[in-house]
Amino acid sequence: MNPQALEIVWLSLKVAVACVAISLPPGVLCGWLLARSSFRGKVLLDGILHLPLVLPPVVTGYLLLMLLGQRGPVGMLLEQVGIQVAFDWKGAVLASAVVAFPLLLRSVRSSIENVDPRLESAARTLGAGRIRAFSTVTLRMALPGVFVGGLLSFARSLGEFGATITFVSNIPGQTRTLPLAIYTFINQPGGDRAALGLVLLSIALSLAALAASEVLTRRVRRG
């Protein structure tokens, strides 16, 4: 690979890993909340959390730009403390995380629902606190689903295009991830060969992620 392709792959992997890292904690929390709790407004919350799954990615990117852009209400506050999200790789992470979150959430919620809540109750009767019982029983048994959710989030980040290009543009070395780079080369004269090379790289990375997830899931189940 030439230096330009290495830069694109490195940025894409960095964005995807960061996307999973910031998505997992709220994903597990929301998954537990939706799986184990009943409260007024649960259906509305569920719908809001899954909204990026059905919205066009461009709409998601536009909303992020309106909220977190330099003229957005949150974006202006962040600018005052020296944090820039729009048109920066951190914005690419956020765009990927928002779009991929429903996939992570659905996997985590389903895995928690499949754990018998009586096991957690038994742990609490033996002296474990609520958090410890959840982490040592429910979360432990739901780990395969959490891994699958993390994989889906990672893979979705690698393929994210619409929200990213709308929110953070297509800046070389800053926000040009694999999908944006492929789009750029396709629209350049003589760029078909470079685009094909990146397409093959994308396929290889996705297959590697799937294989790694399968291995990890089997090890967790055996443990």
pLDDT in tens, 139-173: 888 888 898 889 889 989 998 999 999 999 999 98
| Euclidean distance between CA atoms 154 and 130, whole angstroms | 30
Cα–Cα nearest to 176, from 15, 66, 19: 15
Provide mean pLDDT across the span 79-86. 86
Of all residues in the chain, what percent carry a pLDDT higher than 70? 97
82: number of Cβ within 10 Å: 6
| Euclidean distance between CA atoms 166 and 161, whole angstroms | 9
- Helical H runs in 81-191? 89-113, 117-125, 130-133, 139-159, 162-168, 178-186
| Euclidean distance between CA atoms 62 and 15, whole angstroms | 19
> Residue 104 pLDDT > 80, yes or no?
yes
Place 47 in a pLDDT band, splitting at 50, 70 and 90. Answer: very high
Place 17 in a pLDDT band, splitting at 50, 70 and 90. Answer: very high
Specify the pLDDT at position 223.
56
> Residue 6 pLDDT > 60, yes or no?
yes
Q: Which fold has domain 3-113+144-222?
A: MetI-like fold (1.10.3720)
Torsion of CA 167, 62, 15, 135, to 10 degrees: 150
Sorted by where each begins, the domain ranges of the chain are 3-113+144-222
Q: Flag the least confident range among 71-75, 195-199, 206-210.
A: 206-210
The answer to whether the beta carbons of residues 195 and 185 sit under 8 Å apart is yes
pLDDT in tens, 186-204: 998 888 888 999 999 888 8
Place 222 in a pLDDT band, splitting at 50, 70 and 90. Answer: low
> Residue 11 pLDDT > 80, yes or no?
yes
pTM above 0.75, yes or no: yes
